[in-house]
Structure 1
Amino acid sequence: MVVHHLNCGSMKVPGGPPLVCHVLAVETGDGLVLVDTGFGTADIADPRRRVGVVRFLVHPALDPAETAVRQLTELGYERSDVRHIVITHFDLDHIGGLADFPDASVHVTAAEARGAVHSPSRQEKFRYRAVQWAHGPKLVEHSPDGEPWRGFAAASEVLPGILMLALPGHTRGHAAVAVDSGDGWILHAGDAFFHRGVIDGATPVPAVTKAHERLVAFDLPRVRDNHARLAELYRRAEPDLTITCSHDPALMPRR
């Protein structure tokens, strides 16, 4: 499968490094699959309502040229070509583009659907922006079961060649998504880590990035557990595996 790497939302936390919203667009025999969406056209049209006060923390560019729908058009696709969207979690910088693909099935962990849509806690009600799914997307909920995968207890095959691995911590039902590109696996860890230094153990992680990650963590001990698991996987240096995340531009290959 051909995988395109899209930045669907440049951001800048004051005092920190530039950030991206790394979205995968996967060509399959049955249309396109997106892994996350970044910000969408509706976010750009109404940032006060859809992004809220968070926009003053992360300073999103909100550039129409960075939306997934615009970038896919430039690649020669129609929005109707996007048949499925696999979401790492429901934070606003990951699902803002859902409304640009209203006919797509949206795959999410059952735990994340509970925390964002069905029965959010007070903390989660503040965190999520329900307006971003007010158009009524077709949610497909997945449980954390399946076969073991590269040291993880279970990986659920949500679509052929696309796996979802439960990595709660950043949010209640956060997941990583693994894609078999044909030339190897891409593990998109979402916000399970923010900076390459967390997994390579050598690159300094900016203090602002560490503080930001702690501030937004739903369960900080589990975030740290995920760091350790992903760092161990990185150290194994498996030749057919590339590990990336949502916001570090250094881990985003050219599309």
Structure 2
Amino acid sequence: MKTVSYIKGSPTELHVLDFGLFQVHANGRIIGICGFLIHTSAGQKILVDTGYHRKYAADPHGSSVEDGMDKFGDILKLDPVNFPKEQLALSSVDVSDIDLLIMTHTHIDHVGGLADFPDCPILMSRAERALDKPLYWGDAQPLEWPDREYLLLDEDTEIGPGFRILQTPGHAPGQISIELDLPETGPVLLTSDAISRPSEIDDGFGGSWDEELAHKNFVRLMDRAKETEAFVIFGHSPDQWPTLRKTPEFYS
């Protein structure tokens, strides 16, 4: 595994951020939309993903229609508090405090606040950044890449002590997952949408950019989690979401 020192110190706190609830038409599945705030022993603060675009706070239904997402499902909960600035504020963190923004991929429920953190670099897969625009949703691609410093990775990389970025494409061309070593919780695996939910292996990977690659990386991640006895947080698990601690509570 490659090593590049982008992070100072080791992870000490993992906050799960609540970016709302969504219900899928096809199966009635209700999924949480999550992001993460990670503190390090050197006082750095790292944000992972940014939820929906802020236009959804004013008009969730109209925005869904505009983006074509209403054909896939309905937003059940998306209040003003379910956006990065407000979620960070629950644990007394300001937008300006964020030292690094990590984008696991650029679908609509992850990329909405991509441009809202002008004072920090963005870390992501080189394959995702190579796209003309962020993926967003279907044929809708309203977002441009903001003018930022980009830290681009094309292989599994340890970016700091106990902080690893894994290349897990399939769901998206540049999908990444994150491994952390926390002082008390121990190994943690944030799969993002590389594994939406454990049953995805049986349900299939329909809608993925590359279903065969998505299956391969599902197996790879679950094997890694078993080997390390990691606590796994899935991308959109209906069963797991209600059980997770949400900020200002955290895993240490």
TM-score (norm 1): 0.77
Aligned mates of 2:136, 2:96 — CA distance in 1:
31
Residue type of the alignment partner of 1:115: L
1:217 aligns with 2:208: yes
1:86 aligns with 2:90: no
* 2:156 matches 1:131: no
Which of the pair has the greater relative contact order for Cα pairs under 8 Å at 6+ separation? 2
Aligned mates of 2:139, 2:147 — CA distance in 1? 15
Shift in Å, 1:172 = 1.1
Give the counterpart letter for 2:100 in structure 1: H
2:151 equivalent among 119, 135, 140:
140
Query: Is the 2:123–2:151 contact (alpha carbons within 8 Å) kept by the matching residues of 1?
Result: yes
Cα RMSD after superposing both structures? 2.7
Q: Show structure 1 runs of 5+ residues with no match.
A: 145-154, 200-204
Count of matched residue positions in the alignment of Structure 1 and Structure 2: 227
1:10-49 equivalent positions in 2, closer than 5 A = 10-14=21-25, 15-28=27-40, 29-45=42-58
SS of corresponding position for 2:99: strand
CA distance in 1, matches of 2:175, 2:139: 13
Q: CA deviation at 1:56?
A: 3.7
Determine if contact 1:91/1:127 at 8 Å carries over to the other structure.
no
Q: Which residues of structure 2 form unaligned runs of 5+?
A: 1-11, 247-252
Matching residue of 1:181 = 182
Counterpart CA distance in 1 for 2:137 and 2:54 is 22
Post-superposition shift, 1:133?
Answer: 4.2
Corresponding position: 1:166 with 2:187: no
User: C-alpha separation between the residues in 1 aligned to 2:136 and 2:35?
Assistant: 25
Q: How much identity, in percent, do the aligned residues show?
A: 25
**1:40 and 1:99 in contact (8 A); partners too:** no
Shift in alpha-carbon separation, 1:160–1:132, aligned structure 2, 3 A: farther
Secondary structure of the residue aligned to 2:37 is: strand
> Higher helix share goes to which structure?
1
| Counterpart pick for 1:233 among 215, 219, 224 | 224
Deviates more, 1:59-68 or 1:104-113: 59-68
